[in-house]
Amino acid sequence: MRNTLSLQKQVASAIADQIRIELTPHEQAVLRNVRSVDPEAYEDYLKGRFFFNKRNSNEKAQSYFQQAIEKDPNYPPPYTGLADIYQLSDNPRLAKESVQKALELDNELAEAHNSLAELLYRFNRDWAGAEKEFKRALELDSNYAPAHHWYSMYLAFLGRRQQALAEAQKAYELDPLSPVVGANLAKILLENGQHAKAIDQAKRTLDLEPNSAVTHAVLGMVYEDQKMYADAITEYKTALQLGGSPGEMRGLLGYVYAATGDLGNAEKMIRELKQLWPGHARAALDLAGIYSGLGQKDQALYWLGKASEKEVGDLAVVGQDPHFAALHSDPRFQAFVKKVGAPQ
């Protein structure tokens, strides 16, 4: 494995020669510039991505990315792995530092441009800049499934649902074994009003990875949207038990409890979320969602403000989140959505 990427270069060149493919100048330059990578660093990076794609093993993924960097500080991909983890944990400063380091080492790395695109829309609300970076990532590597995956979410947030579905399907074609890619396709199908297909997709993904917290959560969202609240609660509880986001899962549960009039359990989720705050920044957004479901608008807006103070990335879609439907007519909420740069 000592010269893994050099071997890939030789194989790619040989194949191109055998089938008489005429490589573009950019493709030729990429092959010329391939550098040797410490095999253990490469293996650690792959392990990091494996655990990151589970979405419930981020600490383990982060450890592998850091080990890869220690073994080969000039190998760019692990920095993009760290950037993605920092983004999901609402730490845009460290995410930006990691993305910049990856781009400094290799400005033509698809992973780095994809990570930068995520950063631009989730935290900077630079929607145009983000799309430019997604397109650059896909220009550099059209078969990079995570770029199609994240681009699909970006498009969905902007209401471009048919394009979002096409990108989610492309990501799934490229990486059908990834639970997070399969779960995202189910969610995009839900957002396109295709409930039966969304359920089928989620269950297909769970057949491959029964312990995928994110897939159980998405299946719960489909059930919730159909007002199948008992089934939704079961899926959200399963997701929480499997290590899903402690804030988000409690927020989803609390909202459904509120919707069904189970005020005792809704208050229980509120207490548990307040125990997570402020160490778990996203808890503020999830508290706001439950209070919205309870019709307590002042409390909902208070916690949205706290989420904004903590730079919670998912505020990027607060204007479209159905859990805040009760606030849509409130001028204070409309002003908040405009302030944080979220699409409406």
Domains of the chain in start order, with CATH, are: 143-241 (1.25.40.10), 245-344 (1.25.40)
Return the exposure string of 20-51: e unless at least 16 CB atoms fall within 10 Å of the residue's CB, then b: eeeeeeeeeebeeebeebbeebbbbbebbbeb
Q: How far is CA 120 from CA 95, 130, 192, 297, 319, in A?
A: 11, 5, 25, 30, 18
Confidence of residue 56 (pLDDT cuts 50, 70, 90): confident
Return the exposure string of 278-317: e unless at least 16 CB atoms fall within 10 Å of the residue's CB, then b: eebbbbbbbbbbbbbbbebeebbbebbebbbebebbbbbb
What beta strand segments (E) does 221-307 contain? Answer: none
Please give the structure tokens belonging to residue 124. Answer: 């900077």
Place of tokens 């499934």: 145
pLDDT of 3 higher than 90: no
pLDDT of 19 higher than 70: no
The predicted model gives 147-164 an average pLDDT of: 96
pLDDT of 1 higher than 60: no
Contacts of residue 289, defined as CB under 8 A and 6 or more positions apart, other chains included, come to 251, 252, 254, 255, 300, 321, 323, 324
- Percent share of the chain, pLDDT over 90: 83
The predicted model gives 210-218 an average pLDDT of: 96
Amino acid in the structure at residue 231: D
Which pLDDT value is given to residue 37? 85
pLDDT of 16 higher than 50: no
- pTM of the predicted structure, to 2 decimals: 0.88
CA-CA distance, 140 to 98, in Å (whole number)? Answer: 20
| Residue that wins the pLDDT comparison between 289 and 2 | 289
The predicted model gives 59-72 an average pLDDT of: 96
Question: Which region among 56-60, 94-98, 102-106, 310-314 has the lowest average model confidence (pLDDT)?
Answer: 56-60
The predicted model gives 299-304 an average pLDDT of: 98
Q: What is the pLDDT of residues 90-128, one digit of tens each?
A: 899 999 999 999 999 999 999 999 999 999 999 999 999
Reference 110, options 118, 87, 173; nearest CA is 118
Confidence of residue 23 (pLDDT cuts 50, 70, 90): low
Q: What is the pLDDT of residues 30-44, one digit of tens each?
A: 544 556 789 999 999
- Percent share of the chain, pLDDT over 70: 90
CA-CA distance, 226 to 37, in Å (whole number)? Answer: 50
Confidence of residue 245 (pLDDT cuts 50, 70, 90): confident
Reference 113, options 140, 92, 78; nearest CA is 140
Largest pairwise CA distance in the chain:
69
Tell me phi and psi for residue 34, to 5 degrees.
Answer: -65, 130
Please give the structure tokens belonging to residue 311. Answer: 């730079």
Confidence of residue 22 (pLDDT cuts 50, 70, 90): low
Which pLDDT value is given to residue 57? 74
Confidence of residue 53 (pLDDT cuts 50, 70, 90): confident
Reference 292, options 315, 249, 321, 312; nearest CA is 321
Within 13 Å and on the Cβ side, how many CA atoms surround 184?
34
Please give the structure tokens belonging to residue 117. Answer: 């695109």
Confidence of residue 27 (pLDDT cuts 50, 70, 90): low
Question: Which region among 52-66, 190-204, 267-281 has the lowest average model confidence (pLDDT)?
Answer: 52-66
Confidence of residue 135 (pLDDT cuts 50, 70, 90): very high
The predicted model gives 150-161 an average pLDDT of: 95
Confidence of residue 12 (pLDDT cuts 50, 70, 90): very low
State the Cα angle at 87 between 44 and 117, rounded to 5°. 95
